[in-house]
């Protein structure tokens, strides 16, 4: 694996293995600077959402980078209040305008509300109209995906879910793999909970890497796409610097075994936003 290694999605589109997440970066300057640093460091995927309220800043940073549009994989998400078929189409238009783009690489249902099927049908329509390159969902458990499958002509190709060593999501990852759905891990660092765990600390020492780099490498080894967020320039660079070592199968298994089913965010079966 190298920094340019991608995952080939179900329709053949290539998606970078590590992207830059921009949640909690609402201030224009913070988002603009973060995305600018990330692109300079070599990231070629950016993960935003309408609810992050920074799509304008993300779009401006992409333009200012001078990097060709088609070299950057851009994801955004339809917020819960905008779900439903017509609303999703409108929300997409707004996001596209804010980002100042004429297409998106990946568009996701942010959370599985009761309207998840209509919302996905709108995303599918955008895919058919070639306004997005990849249709996807986020925070969908297996039963949510099955609800989507029941109405979909084209299955979602990405499911973005909370995943880190404290929530390794083995069953859902296996279900996604069986259905040719790539998994993107949000909160890939799990707010640092496992950074001080002896298993992770020992591996960090062994490979002269930081605990964050060990965790990000674990994501790559188990087949995930990871979208770490940082506003700290050195961390932005460090989080991409995970291609000069590899974990053994046993080491990967040991990290996966740290799973405690601990969520840093809401459970998609029980949220009130």
Active site residues: 52
For residues 22 and 37, give the distance between their C-alpha atoms in angstroms, rounded to a whole number.
12
Phi-psi region at 27: left, alpha or beta (left = phi > 0; alpha = psi -120 to 50): beta
Stretch of 36-44, 127-135, 168-176, 235-243 contacting ligand NDP, by CB under 6 A: 235-243
Q: Which of 69, 128, 192, 267 binds ligand NDP (CB under 6 A)?
A: 192
Residue 233 burial (C-beta neighbours within 10 Å; 0-12, 13-18, 19+):
middle
Instruction: Tell whether residue 119 is a contact of ligand NDP (CB under 6 A).
Output: no
Torsions phi, psi for 231 (to 5 deg): -105, 5
Q: Which of 58, 132, 189, 258 binds ligand NDP (CB under 6 A)?
A: 189
Q: Output 232 or 248, the one with its CB closest to ligand NDP.
A: 232
Cβ neighbors of 272 (< 8 A, separation 6 or more) are none
For residues 209 and 251, give the distance between their C-alpha atoms in angstroms, rounded to a whole number.
14
Instruction: Tell whether residue 21 is a contact of ligand NDP (CB under 6 A).
Output: yes
CB 230 within 8 A of CB 236: yes
- Could you tell me whether strands 45-47 and 20-21 are parallel, antiparallel, or unpaired per DSSP bridges? parallel
Q: Which of 176, 227, 247, 258 binds ligand NDP (CB under 6 A)?
A: 227
Q: Which of 123, 187, 240, 242 binds ligand NDP (CB under 6 A)?
A: 187
Q: Output 134 or 187, the one with its CB closest to ligand NDP.
A: 187
> Which residue's C-beta sits nearest to ligand NDP?
21
Q: Which of 109, 159, 224, 230 binds ligand NDP (CB under 6 A)?
A: 230
Residue 158 burial (C-beta neighbours within 10 Å; 0-12, 13-18, 19+):
buried
* Beta carbon of residue 270, minimum distance to ligand NDP (angstroms, whole number): 14
C-alpha distances in Å from residue 231, one per residue of 20, 33, 35, 178: 10, 8, 9, 35
Instruction: Tell whether residue 37 is a contact of ligand NDP (CB under 6 A).
Output: no
Q: Output 49 or 117, the one with its CB closest to ligand NDP.
A: 49
* Beta carbon of residue 186, minimum distance to ligand NDP (angstroms, whole number): 3
Q: Which of 59, 239, 247, 255 binds ligand NDP (CB under 6 A)?
A: 239
Give the footprint of ligand NDP on this chain (CB under 6 A): 21-23, 47, 110, 138-139, 160, 186-192, 210, 212, 227-232, 235, 238-239, 265
């Amino acid at each position: 694996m190298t920094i340019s290694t991608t995952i080939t999605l179900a329709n053949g589109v290539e998606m970078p293995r590590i992207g830059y997440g921009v949640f909690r970066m609402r201030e224009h300057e913070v988002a603009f600077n973060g995305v600018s640093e990330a692109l300079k460091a070599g990231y070629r995927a950016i993960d935003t959402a309408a609810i992050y309220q920074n799509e304008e800043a993300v779009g401006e940073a992409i333009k200012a980078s001078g990097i060709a549009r088609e070299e950057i994989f851009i994801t955004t998400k339809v917020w819960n209040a905008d779900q439903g078929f017509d609303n999703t189409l409108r929300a997409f238009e707004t996001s596209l305008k804010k980002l100042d783009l004429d297409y998106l690489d990946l568009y996701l249902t942010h959370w599985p509300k009761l309207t998840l099927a209509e919302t996905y049908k709108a995303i599918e329509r955008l895919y058919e109209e070639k306004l997005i390159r990849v249709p996807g969902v986020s925070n969908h458990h297996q039963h949510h995906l099955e609800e989507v499958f029941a109405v979909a002509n084209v299955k979602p190709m990405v499911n973005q879910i909370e995943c880190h060593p404290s929530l390794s999501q083995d069953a859902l990852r296996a279900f996604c793999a069986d259905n040719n759905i790539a998994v993107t891990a949000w909160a890939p660092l799990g707010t640092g909970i496992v950074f001080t765990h002896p298993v992770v600390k020992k591996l960090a020492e062994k490979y002269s890497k930081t605990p964050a780099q060990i965790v990000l490498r674990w994501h790559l080894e188990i087949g995930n796409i990871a979208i770490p967020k940082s506003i700290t320039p050195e961390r932005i660079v460090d989080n991409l610097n995970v291609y000069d070592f590899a974990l053994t199968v046993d080491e990967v298994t040991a990290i996966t075994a740290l799973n405690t089913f601990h969520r840093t965010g809401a459970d998609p079966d029980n949220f009130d936003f």
